[in-house]
Amino acid sequence: MSALLELHGLEVEIEGLPILRGVDLEVRPGEILGVVGETGAGKSMTARSILDLLPAKARLSFDTCTFGGEDFIPARARQLARGHRIGFVPQRPRGSLNPVFRVGKQIVDTLRRLRGMTRKEAKDEALSLLRSVRITDPERVYRSYPHELSGGMCQRVCIAIALAGEPELIIADEPTTGLDVTIQAEILKLLGEVIAEHNAAGMLITHDLGVVADVCDRVAVMYAGRVINLGTTVEIYREALHPYANQLVSIASSLDSGGTPQEIPGRVPNPGDDLAACAFAPRCFRAEDDCFQEEPPLVHIEGQMAFCHHPLTSEVVSA
Amino acid sequence: MTGPTDTLALRDLTKIFRIKTGTFRHADLRAVDDVSVSITPGRTLAVVGESGSGKTTLARLILRLIDPTQGSIRLEGTDITQMKGAALEDMRGRMQIVFQDPYDSLSPWQTVGRTVAEPLLLHENMSRQDATGPVAAMLERVGLSPEHARRYPHELSGGQAQRVGIARAMITNPALVVLDEPTSSLDMSVQSQILLLLQSLQEERNISYLFISHDLTVVRYIAHDLAVMYLGKVVESGPAAEVFASPRHPYTEALLKAAPRPDPHYKTDHVHLLGEQPSALDRAPGCPLFGRCPIAEDVCADMPQELVEIEAGHRVACWKRT
């Protein structure tokens, strides 16, 4: 299957600090790719690079990048793709809506800009978008200001705006973080449904492995500015190749089942820290000398890829 | 329900905030409404609920940071509801808190050593010299080194800062520690380190924890008992394993089913509570869930249901499920 979005060797540097150190990933048509990692792993920066939302001081480089089969330059996404071919659902829905304009106007403006609609067409389309995100009284929401709506409702509005340009890819950055559990479940379900209904693909950035298991088809696990393990959700949760991904999943599942979690010693490195050849080596229970000295190789096994000298699989161990 | 051996026993605890709604108008917000729970030594009671359910107000009441409107709080058998001045200051050494954000809760101007020593100076009238030894021992116990005493909070990682918060809370050897979302701002790998530390401290010192959280995964792991709050009311309580296995209140059910689990073969059930949590201002007299509840009947609108014991220790406030 050819990828919708394919990125190789994405690097981002901010004031001399390496934030992304060669990110490789692909999003396939129709799938939802989860991007997980801890603070500072580079999840949001990866999304922001694709959306051309990096801070002004950031310097970006990459080896190859294609979107829909064509070359795509992340740093010029503003005119080409953002909003139009790539929709964005933000982390803080209320904060990303303009507080002084009614919700309806904000959707209408987006539609007129992206799709060149007349005012009348845009209003009809805005109401139908609000209905498509399961808002039962679209007329009222259309006339409301953001502060008159609940957090869950604001996020529905943001999803409607993300859909306005009929995007092929929707990137959602921690879309449910500030929301209550019961609302979170509804928003995730909605996001999955609208992505399918619009024949789009999704990229969901989160730190919550429960959320990933719930909605994602494949997962990319990031650590210290790289994707270190990528595979189908089922494979990654069954037996992730990379020891870091493996332990992360096992902590989450042992907490969930009431068991005692393993401990990963140490802490996540900060950008600019001196890193071993494999950034995880100092915390890894499988690390040997080669992990500190040589770049970890890319291994492909059963629907997964990982950068690791000593991946967790019987085949490689016995080889 | 409450016995003489309880570390903490709350009876009918209520806090009503008067909110100004106009020049001459007020509305009552029942932030905590008639809550009665207790914790025995060495056990963890988790209070779960969504934002606005009153969890944090409950913690502030227990620690006597705000005064209750009604009801009583007993700590180790002593009624502390009306306690004031020096007596209350002495009592504070017996009850401590660990906050959600480890950086916000440490003074940026004080060294770690000073912060951890503070409760000893305040509640046990210890001199700074005398405190140095216990502080060093406490820092080692929470997995830091005595050298950390000279550092400032900004030099610490999130996990280390939270260890300092725990050291400060534990240094007076309290009977009760309120843990207000102690791991929710931490990364997963650090979260498990902190949970393991809290658990081993509890076993070693027989401390009671009141664990406030909205994260059911963490609660499932650490809690012995569970109280589910909705709009200021405890709607269900009981042994954690029992409540997780067979929730009875429709709200508890919704909460448990909606929580995503780290298992791709498990699909969360998107439960059918209608709409979102309403305002707690001037609530109707009946069940707080009325209006969102899929199984509500007329009686639920007008008559509040009390918690009813349906199995040993398992209590539910619901007309339809008792």
Q: What is the ipTM of this complex?
A: 0.77
Q: Tell me if chain B has a CB within 8 Å of the CB of A148.
A: no
Residue B232 in this model has a pLDDT that exceeds 60: yes
The residue of chain B with its CA nearest to that of A244 is: B189
Residue A54 in this model has a pLDDT that exceeds 90: no
In chain B, positions 137-156, which contact chain A (CB-CB < 8 Å)? none
Residue B259 in this model has a pLDDT that exceeds 90: no
What's the rounded mean pLDDT across residues A118-144? 94
Q: Tell me if chain A has a CB within 8 Å of the CB of B293.
A: no
Which whole-number Å values give the CA distances from B13 to B34, B37, B71, in the listed order? 5, 9, 4
User: Reduced to 3 states, what is the DSSP secondary structure of residue A221?
Assistant: strand
Task: State the CB neighbour count (10 A cutoff) for residue B178.
Answer: 25
- Give the closest-approach CA distance of A63 to chain B in angstroms: 31
Q: Tell me if chain B has a CB within 8 Å of the CB of A227.
A: no
Direct distance between the N- and C-terminal alpha carbons of chain A, in angstroms, rounded to an integer: 30
Q: Which domains does chain B have, with CATH numbers?
A: 8-94+174-321 (3.40.50.300)
- What one-letter code names the amino acid at B231? L
Tokens found for residue B309? 């014991």
Taking CB atoms and an 8 Å cutoff, what residues of chain A touch B213? none
Query: Is the separation of the CB atoms in A199 and A222 below 8 Å?
Result: no
- Give the closest-approach CA distance of A113 to chain B in angstroms: 32
- Strand segments, DSSP code E, in chain A are 5-14, 17-27, 32-36, 58-61, 64-67, 70-71, 86-89, 169-173, 201-206, 218-223, 226-232, 298-301, 304-307
Q: Which of A246, A256, A270, A285 is the best residue to mutate to test the B interface, defined by the most B CB atoms within 10 Å of its own CB?
A: A256
- Strand segments, DSSP code E, in A51-128 are 58-61, 64-67, 70-71, 86-89
Of B31 and A84, the structure prediction assigns the larger pLDDT to: B31
User: Which residue among A213, A262, A267 places its CB closest to the CB of B190?
Assistant: A267
Q: Tell me if chain B has a CB within 8 Å of the CB of A141.
A: no
Tens digit of each residue's pLDDT (9 = 90 or more) over A96-122:
899 999 999 999 999 998 899 999 999
What's the rounded mean pLDDT across residues B225-236? 95
Q: Tell me if chain A has a CB within 8 Å of the CB of B254.
A: yes
In chain A, positions 240-259, which contact chain B (CB-CB < 8 Å)? 247-249, 251-259
User: Which residue among B158, B193, B261 places its CB closest to the CB of A210?
Assistant: B261
Tokens found for residue A229? 């393990």
Taking CB atoms and an 8 Å cutoff, what residues of chain A touch B247? none
**What are the φ/ψ torsions at residue A246 (nearest 5 degrees)?**
-60, -45
Tell me the sheet residues that pair with B60: none
Taking CB atoms and an 8 Å cutoff, what residues of chain B touch A207? 187-188
Tokens found for residue B170? 């534990």
Whether residue A38 and residue B189 make contact (CB cut-off 8 A), yes or no, is yes
Question: Beta strand A32-36 with A218-223: parallel, antiparallel or unpaired?
Answer: parallel
DSSP B278-302: ---BT--SS-TTTTT-TT--HHHHH
Tell me the sheet residues that pair with A299: A306
Name the residue among A277, A53, B308, B42 with its Cα closest to residue B319.
Answer: B308
What's the rounded mean pLDDT across residues A171-192? 88
Q: Distance (Å, rounded) from C-alpha B168 to C-alpha B164?
A: 6
Angle at CA of residue A93, ends A89 and A98, nearest 5°? 105
Q: Tell me if chain B has a CB within 8 Å of the CB of A186.
A: yes
Residue A315 in this model has a pLDDT that exceeds 60: no
Tens digit of each residue's pLDDT (9 = 90 or more) over B37-55:
999 999 999 999 888 889 9
Tokens found for residue A280? 């995880």
User: Reduced to 3 states, what is the DSSP secondary structure of residue A8?
Assistant: strand
Residue A10 in this model has a pLDDT that exceeds 90: yes
pLDDT > 70 fraction of chain A, expressed in percent and rounded:
96
Q: Tell me if chain B has a CB within 8 Å of the CB of A282.
A: no
Tell me the pLDDT of chain B averaged across its residues.
90
Whether residue A251 and residue B191 make contact (CB cut-off 8 A), yes or no, is yes
Tokens found for residue A71? 């070359």
What's the rounded mean pLDDT across residues B80-109? 90
Whether residue B262 and residue A184 make contact (CB cut-off 8 A), yes or no, is no
What is the reported pLDDT for B1?
52
Place of tokens 């009441």: B61
Tens digit of each residue's pLDDT (9 = 90 or more) over A15-46:
989 999 999 999 999 999 999 998 889 999 99
The residue of chain B with its CA nearest to that of A235 is: B264
Q: Tell me if chain B has a CB within 8 Å of the CB of A61.
A: no
Taking CB atoms and an 8 Å cutoff, what residues of chain B touch A181? 50, 214, 216, 255, 258-259
In chain B, positions 36-75, which contact chain A (CB-CB < 8 Å)? 50-51
Q: Tell me if chain B has a CB within 8 Å of the CB of A149.
A: no
What's the rounded mean pLDDT across residues B86-114? 91
Direct distance between the N- and C-terminal alpha carbons of chain B, in angstroms, rounded to an integer: 18
Name the residue among A113, A232, A229 with its Cα closest to residue A161.
Answer: A113
